Amino acid sequence: NAGVTQTPKFRVLKTGQSMTLLCAQDMNHEYMYWYRQDPGMGLRLIHYSVGEGTTAKGEVPDGYNVSRLKKQNFLLGLESAAPSQTSVYFCASSRTSELPGEQYFGPGTRLTVT
């Protein structure tokens, strides 16, 4: 099993450009999450999904959109990138909310917006 994979690993964008980050999991997990990690801030939840076709906002959703068209994939979109979105983005998945927080994380995507 590959677990949770993220594409791409690195990306540099110019202000105003758009991009999509792809997360895939092969563990048949129901829940999927997108976080961003910034120095001194820990991991902050952007959006999450409790099942195929459903999404919900997390702590810091502004400037991002998500889609969960297939159970195994969770896409994070930036429509018009801003320097404040320079960060490391992590995707995670979990079986259910019965053990809340026991999530499996991908390796991360380092995004720089200039």
**Is 31 among the residues that bind other proteins (CB under 8 A)?**
yes
Chain-centroid distance of CA 34 in Å reads 3
Cα–Cα distances (Å) from 26 to 1, 75, 100, 102, in that order, read 7, 15, 19, 16
Amino acid at 93: S
Cα–Cα distances (Å) from 68 to 20, 45, 88, in that order, read 13, 16, 21
- Closest approach, Cβ 22 to other proteins, in A, equals 15
Single residue of 45, 61, 65, 72 touching other proteins by CB under 8 A:
45
Single residue of 17, 20, 50, 72 touching other proteins by CB under 8 A:
50
**Is 74 among the residues that bind other proteins (CB under 8 A)?**
no
- Closest approach, Cβ 9 to other proteins, in A, equals 9
Q: Which residue has the tokens 């995507």?
A: 109
**Is 90 among the residues that bind other proteins (CB under 8 A)?**
yes
**Is 69 among the residues that bind other proteins (CB under 8 A)?**
no
**Is 27 among the residues that bind other proteins (CB under 8 A)?**
no
Q: Where on the chain is the footprint of other proteins (CB under 8 A)?
A: 4, 31, 35, 40-45, 48, 50, 90, 92, 97, 99-108
